[in-house]
Amino acid sequence: GAVVSQHPSRVICKSGTSVKIECRSLDFQATTMFWYRQFPKKSLMLMATSNEGSKATYEQGVEKDKFLINHASLTLSTLTVTSAHPEDSSFYICSARYPEQFFGPGTRLTVL
């Protein structure tokens, strides 16, 4: 199957800093990528749809100024958590369609 990578796999940062997470489709081009958030022992919640060459579409309740998404190329989408706070600590997973969704391995963010 298609491969989606994420970097970093784990990040610890101080409160108030910004963190960028990369999502890459390694062997295919993806005009659409998705970003999910998962709390411990919970399901995945869709945060936003990342569209190559246009603005991301955010789900209700997700702050677009807090979670900046940039889909700069057909193989790369980035999620930047701005001014991170401890409540932003979570597991962030991206996916890309080809044609079904393939998921990245996830990024665990811990904000101290």
Residue (18 or 39) nearer to other proteins, CB: 39
Least distance CB 27 / other proteins (angstroms): 16
- What sections of 14-104 are H helices per DSSP? none
> Are the beta carbons of 80 and 19 closer than 8 angstroms?
yes
CA dihedral 26, 28, 32, 33 (to 10 degrees): -20
Which of 72, 18, 80, 74 has the alpha carbon at shortest distance from 48?
Answer: 80
Residue 86: is the preceding peptide bond cis (ω within 30°)?
no
Q: Which residue number, 44 or 62, has a Cβ lying nearer to other proteins?
A: 44
Least Å distance, CB 83 to other proteins, is 26
- Minimum CB separation from other proteins for residue 20, in Å? 19
Residue number, 17 or 39, with CB nearest to other proteins: 39
SS3 category, 88: helix
Q: Provide the binding-site residues for other proteins, judged by CB under 8 A.
A: 1, 6, 34, 36, 41-46, 49, 91, 93, 95, 100-106, 108
Question: Token pair 């709390």 is at which residue?
Answer: 39
Closer CB to other proteins, residue 2 or residue 82?
2
